[in-house]
Amino acid sequence: MTTYRDRAEAGRILADRLGDIAGPDVIVLGLVRGGVPVARVIAERLGAPLDVLVVRKLGMPWAPEVAYGALGPGGVQVLNDMIADRIDPDERADVRRREQAELDRREQLYRGDRPQLDLTGRTAVIVDDGLATGATARAAVQVARHLGAARVVVAVPVGSDQAYEMLAAEADQVISDQTPPDFAAVGAYYDDFHEVSDDEVTQALTATA
């Protein structure tokens, strides 16, 4: 098992696998919050702009970890209708209202005065610090397509085989430094896996602006 000293080292290793993706249409999107320090290094190495993709999963009221859809910036909503239709409309409205409020808070906090994210015609490289279930990254891929991305690449230092296969069916390309067969929690592959703060996210965005 390979472990990374921290998210920055994971980003440097991952960037070496992304060299052929560089180009004027590329934008690197860190998933808030843990993916941003990884994405910052990749953006610097690729000479590409860095931004954040704020995605909120819509979870079943009685099982929040099971997503029936997702929300993204600019009013984007992605639903799995086969699951969503089984939920009481009032309960679904409560979930959406709660997740929309958190999405709006984070968008305001991280985006500030910068314009809304527009991925029209871009190659979106979605970066996270690891894939456990892959549900958030999957939602991010769907949101990126709704925001106009011409190509969507998911890049992670480490992930489970199951998550990798699921994302491979959604994204145009999935790049992972390692997919260990005995995958444990994402944090097990980092010496330093501190919780990334809001300040750390905003500082990364400011530094690469």
88 and 161, same structural domain? no
Give the residue numbers spanning the domain of 104: 56-111
Residue 188 lies in a domain: yes
60 and 137, same structural domain? no
Which residues is 173 bridged to in the sheet? Answer: 153
Best CA proximity match to 175, nearest among 13, 18, 12: 18
Per the structure, the count of domains in the chain is 2
Give φ, ψ of 71 to 5 degrees. Answer: -115, 145
29 and 128, same structural domain? yes
pLDDT at 77: 83
84 and 11, same structural domain? no
195 and 97, same structural domain? no
Residue 1 lies in a domain: no
Domain CATH number, residue 64: 3.30.1310
pLDDT in tens, the chain (209 residues): 789 999 999 999 999 999 888 889 999 999 988 999 999 999 999 999 999 998 888 888 888 877 888 888 888 888 877 788 889 999 999 999 999 999 999 988 888 778 888 899 999 999 999 998 888 898 899 889 989 999 999 999 999 998 899 899 999 999 999 999 899 889 999 999 999 998 999 888 887 66
Assign residue 114 a region (left: φ > 0; alpha: ψ between -120 and 50; beta: otherwise). beta
Specify the long-range contacts of residues 90-93, CB closer than 8 Å, at least 24 apart: 91/61, 92/58, 92/61
Model pTM greater than 0.85?
yes
123 and 48, same structural domain? yes
Domain CATH number, residue 163: 3.40.50.2020
Distance CA(31)–CA(45), nearest Å, equals 18
Of 71, 87, 111, the residue at which a domain comes to its end is 111
158 and 197, same structural domain? yes
Q: Which residues 6+ apart lie within 8 Å of 104 measured at CB?
A: none
